[in-house]
Amino acid sequence: MIQSVETHATLAEAQRAMGSDAIFMAGGTLVMRDVNAGVAATRIVRSSDPVLADIRLSGDGVTIGAGVTMATIAAHRDLAFLAPVARSVGGPQIRNMGTVGGNLFAPHPYGDFAVALLALGARVNVAGQIGAPRPLADVLRERGRVGIVASVHVPRPQAPGDFGFLKVSRIKPKGVSVLSVAAHLPRQGGRIRGARVAFGAMGPMPLQATAVERVLDGQALDAPTIARAAQVAVEGLDPPTDALATAWYRREVAGVHLKRLLERMVRG
């Protein structure tokens, strides 16, 4: 039973107000579901800190406030590389409310936007933590113990064709993921340098496909390389069985969809 909803002017105050009886709420697309089901924490903490809504471009990337919604990203002229990812999250109502910060902590099979951020090598600014932003992979691993996320810093792909995202769902256009996959493949002299590939719904949280990255790194993105990458797609992943698909099915199709994504990136 909810006893209070508190809105704090700054993230620092909101962070201080947190406790074991409280949950931070952003867009509330998931938190409110728990409230309606009677399983939410007793206190809801919110913040009106403007940093949450800020989108700031810098030389190499963009810093996106954790409270920025999927709809805002889909419509932002400087975030075209992320627009298809944002548009893949839920239907219009979910995109109007659902935020970047909430997507980082959304349980399986959600987290499509986090998959893209992981592939892009995003780093996370946590409220009240001084120093360098934290790698997203660490934050995803430590869900529940991280604190309030203020923003994410996302490196921008140097060429539009360096980044690709694919979501596989059963219900079009707004079903949740059987799996999602994102790849950031910067190229120098035709060779991939610093490949990053991530899968969603293939584990308890979005996961980096390090075996795939090893296969791709230093290679040209051609048919033999893509075939080798597809062969190792599920190495290190741990897909669950749920109402959408069995773990077996997810394992079987992960390589197929990775191949489709990489072939699409070749075609440009």
Ligand X SMILES: Cc1cc2nc3c(=O)[nH]c(=O)nc-3n(C[C@H](O)[C@H](O)[C@H](O)COP(=O)(O)OP(=O)(O)OC[C@H]3O[C@@H](n4cnc5c(N)ncnc54)[C@H](O)[C@@H]3O)c2cc1C
Q: What residues from 225 to 264 belong to the interface with ligand X (CB under 6 A)?
A: none
Which of 110, 163, 165, 199 contacts ligand X by CB under 6 A? 110
Sign of the torsion angle spanned by Cα atoms 183, 184, 190, 193: negative
Helix or strand run (H / E) with residue 101: helix 100-105
Q: Which residues from 10-29 bind ligand X, rule CB under 6 A?
A: 23-29
Chain positions 166 to 195 lying near ligand X, rule: CB under 6 A, are: 176
Distance CA 11, CA 18 (A): 11
State the Cα–Cα distance between residues 237 and 218, nearest whole angstrom: 23
**Closest approach of ligand X to the CB of residue 231, in Å:** 28
Query: What distance in Å separates the CA atoms of residue 10 and residue 213, rounded to the nearest whole number?
Result: 40
Q: How many Cβ atoms from other residues are within 10 Å of residue 147's Cβ?
A: 16
Alpha-carbon Rg for the chain in angstroms: 18
Which range touches ligand X (CB under 6 A), out of 12-20, 105-113, 129-137, 241-249? 105-113
Q: In the complex with ligand X, which residue's Cβ is closer, 64 or 106? A: 106
Q: Are strands 123-126 and 163-169 parallel, antiparallel or unpaired?
A: unpaired
Residue range at the interface with ligand X (CB under 6 A); choices 76-84, 92-100, 212-220, 226-234: 92-100
Give the count of residues interacting with ligand X (CB under 6 A).
29
- Least CB distance to ligand X at residue 78 (A): 20
Cα maximum dimension of the chain: 60
**CB nearer to ligand X: pick between 13 and 217:** 13
Q: Which is nearer to ligand X, 148 or 262 (CB)?
A: 148
Q: Looking up tokens 């919604």, which residue turns up?
A: 69
Nearest Cα residue to 69 out of 90, 93, 47, 99:
99
| Nearest distance in Å: CB 157, ligand X | 21
Backbone angles phi, psi at 185, to 5 degrees: -125, 80
d(CA 210, CA 118): 12
User: What CA–CA distance (Å, rounded) separates 142 from 31?
Assistant: 19
Does 125 participate in binding ligand X (rule CB under 6 A)? no
Rounded least distance, CB 192 to ligand X, Å: 27
Tell me which of 49, 68, 101, 207 binds ligand X, using CB under 6 A: 101
Residue from the set 86, 112, 156, 165 that interacts with ligand X by CB under 6 A: 112
Q: Which x/- pattern, by CB under 6 A, does the window 58-87 give for ligand X?
A: --------x---------------------
Among 40, 148, 192, 201, binds ligand X (CB under 6 A): 148
- Quick check: 105 binds ligand X (CB under 6 A)? yes
* C-alpha–C-alpha distance, residues 170 and 90, integer Å: 13
- Binding residues for ligand X, rule: CB under 6 A, are 23-31, 33, 66, 89-90, 94, 97-99, 101-103, 105-106, 110-113, 148-149, 176
